[in-house]
Amino acid sequence: MTITPAPGGFDEFEMYQVLERACTKAGLDSRDARLLRGHTNAVLLLEKEQVVAKIARKGTDPESVVRTVALVRWLIEAGFPTVPLHPGDQPLIVDGHAVTLWTYLPQPEHPLAAGQLAGPLKALHALPSPPIALAEHDNIGAIRRSLTAVTCLPAAALRYMEQEADRLEAELRQVRFTLAPGLIQGDPQHRNALHTTDGSAVLCDWDTVARGQPEWDLVTVEVHCRRFGYGQAHYQAFADAYGWDVKKSAYYPVLRDIRELRMITTNARKVRHAPGSLSEIQRRVDGLRRRDGHLAWNIL
User: Same structural domain for residues 98 and 118?
Assistant: no
User: Same structural domain for residues 48 and 78?
Assistant: yes
User: In a structure prediction context, what are the per-residue pLDDT tens digits for the chain, which is 300 residues long?
Assistant: 344 567 777 888 999 999 999 999 999 999 999 998 876 789 999 999 999 999 998 889 999 999 999 999 999 999 999 999 999 999 999 989 999 999 999 988 888 889 999 999 999 999 999 999 999 999 999 999 999 999 989 999 999 999 999 999 999 999 999 999 999 999 998 888 899 888 889 999 899 999 999 999 999 999 999 999 898 999 999 999 999 999 999 999 999 999 999 999 999 998 877 778 899 999 999 999 999 999 999 988
User: Same structural domain for residues 92 and 166?
Assistant: no
Backbone angles phi, psi at 40, to 5 degrees: -115, -80
User: Same structural domain for residues 49 and 120?
Assistant: no
User: Same structural domain for residues 52 and 159?
Assistant: no
Task: Tell me the torsion sign for CA atoms 70, 219, 271, 30.
Answer: positive
What local confidence, expressed as pLDDT, does residue 236 receive? 97
User: Same structural domain for residues 125 and 239?
Assistant: yes
Q: What is the CATH number of the domain that holds 198?
A: 3.90.1200.10
User: Same structural domain for residues 78 and 124?
Assistant: no
Q: Please list the residues that pair with 174 across neighbouring strands.
A: none
CB 175 within 8 A of CB 255: yes
Note whether residue 68 is domain-resident. yes
User: Same structural domain for residues 145 and 242?
Assistant: yes
Side-chain half-sphere CA neighbours of 186 within 13 A: 17
User: Same structural domain for residues 139 and 258?
Assistant: yes
Backbone angles phi, psi at 118, to 5 degrees: -60, -45
CB 203 within 8 A of CB 185: yes
On the question of a cis peptide bond just before residue 81, with omega within 30 degrees of 0, the verdict is no
Give pTM, 2 decimals.
0.93
CA distances to 79, 131, 289 from 89, in Å? 20, 19, 48
Note whether residue 173 is domain-resident. yes
- H helix intervals, the chain: 12-26, 62-77, 114-125, 139-149, 155-172, 214-227, 232-242, 252-269, 278-289
CB 40 within 8 A of CB 186: no
CB 51 within 8 A of CB 92: no
Range of the domain at 168: 114-289
What local confidence, expressed as pLDDT, does residue 197 receive? 83
What local confidence, expressed as pLDDT, does residue 7 receive? 77
Q: Please list the residues that pair with 102 across neighbouring strands.
A: 52, 85
Q: How many residues does the chain have?
A: 300
**CA-to-CA distance for 268 and 262, rounded, in angstroms?**
10
**CA-to-CA distance for 22 and 19, rounded, in angstroms?**
5
| Residue from 41, 31, 20, 39 nearest 274 by CA | 39
Side-chain half-sphere CA neighbours of 96 within 13 A: 7
| Residue from 193, 190, 217, 222 nearest 205 by CA | 193
User: Same structural domain for residues 91 and 119?
Assistant: no
What local confidence, expressed as pLDDT, does residue 4 receive? 54
- Residues 5-25 as b or e (16 or more Cβ within 10 Å = b): bbbbbbeeebbbebbbbbbee
